[in-house]
Amino acid sequence: MNVIPIEPKETYDWLLNMHYAKRIPQIMKAFGLYDGNKLIGVTTYGIPASPSLCIGICGKEYSEIVLELNRLCLLNNNKNESSFLVSNSIKQLPKPTIVVSYADTAQGHVGYVYQATNFLFTGTTKERTDMGGRDGKHSRHNKDSSIRVFRSAKHRYILFHGSKTDKKKFRKLLKYSVLPYPKGNTNRYDVIHKPSTQIIMEF
């Protein structure tokens, strides 16, 4: 297996037809997991929608180097594929980068892939409603406060990518408490058929 950078547009079919969110997030970096010449997984990184989150991790000075791992989607989700894709894509990000990602409790996610790749667990967000688009999905651009969308509780994971000095510095600056990893059962999704007849299993 090999992980290489790909164009964001190469992930669109995967994210719209395979991933449970069924929408394309803001993408700055995209990577593909290949088995030979076959693309068997994708992951994407983008600027988090919340500026306060970027500031709230290690302060305003380092807010501009925060990226969110915002999508992870595999064709078969065989053993170790997800952690291989995550760890090897992060190695190809600029140094230093602060990576944040979430495991959605409403989807039965615990975040074991992040635990396996040495992310820090920094707590669980609270359920809430926030502004959404007219399509009923979350939207950072919507200004109509009358449209509210439920946001489920999510486990928050953070990883520092950089030199040993960078990692030590960011760990001291981290404003969230580092907590024991959550445990529990995690859902493996039913097989979903793509229009092209490929199948995948989400997690």
In 136-177, where does DSSP find H-type helix?
A: 164-173
Amino acid identity at 45: Y
Residue 130 lies in a domain: no
Residue 117 lies in a domain: yes
Instruction: Name which of 94, 101, 126 is nearest 115 in CA terms.
Output: 101
Q: Which of 73-77, 85-89, 158-162 has the least mean pLDDT?
A: 73-77
Cα torsion through 98, 2, 82, 90, rounded to 10: 0
| Owning domain of residue 86 | 2-124+155-200
Residue 15 lies in a domain: yes
Residue 62 lies in a domain: yes
Q: What is the pLDDT of residue 126?
A: 79
Residue 21 lies in a domain: yes
Q: How many CB atoms lie within 10 A of CB 138?
A: 17
Paired with 11 in beta bridges are none
CATH number of the domain that 94 lies in?
A: 3.40.630.30
Percentages (nearest 5) of helix, strand, coil residues in the chain: 25, 30, 45
CA distance 54 to 165: 20
Output the six-digit token pair for 50: 């919340």
Can you tell me whether residue 171 is helix, strand or coil? helix
Residue 108 lies in a domain: yes
Residue 7 lies in a domain: yes
Does residue 128 contact residue 162 with C-beta atoms inside 8 Å? no
**34 pLDDT band (50/70/90 cuts)?**
very high
Tens digit of each residue's pLDDT (9 = 90 or more) over 100-138: 999 988 877 789 999 999 999 999 987 655 655 555 555
Residue 129 lies in a domain: no
Average pLDDT over residues 83-88: 97
Q: What is the pLDDT of residue 119?
A: 98
Number of domains in the chain: 1
Paired with 82 in beta bridges are none
